[in-house]
Amino acid sequence: MASNFKVQTRQLGKNGPVVPRLGLGCVPLGGGAYGLAASDEDRLAFLSEAYKLGARFWDVADEYADAEDVIGKWITANPEKREDVVIGTKFGIVSDPVHRRAFATDSSPEYCRKAIEKSLSRLAVSYVDIYYIHRVDKVTPIEKTMEALVELKNQGKIKHIGISECSASTLRRAHAIHPITCVQVEYSLICKAIETPEVPILETARELGIAMVAYGPLGSGLLSGSIQKREDITKPGDLRAMIPALRDENFDSNMAIVGKISDLAKRKGATTGQFALAWLLAQGDDIFPIPGTSSARRLKENFESMSISVSPEEDQILRDLAGGIVGQRVQELLGHAFADSVPL
Question: Catalytic amino acids?
Answer: 64
Q: What is the rounded CA–CA span in Å between residue 3 and residue 271?
A: 12
- CA 2 to chain centroid, in Å, comes to 24
Type of residue numbered 112: C
Sign of the Cα torsion 320, 321, 327, 328 reads negative
Residue 149 DSSP SS3: helix
For residues 214, 217, 220, 221, the Cα torsion angle rounded to the nearest 10 degrees is -160
Would strands 57-59 and 93-95 be described as parallel, antiparallel, or unpaired?
A: unpaired
280: Cβ–Cβ under 8 A, 6 or more apart, which residues? 187, 188, 189, 214, 217, 287, 289
SS3 191: strand
- Helices 272-281 and 312-322, packing angle to 10 deg: 110
Contact of 340 with 279, CB cutoff 8 Å: no
Do 105 and 306 contact (CB within 8 A), yes or no? Answer: no
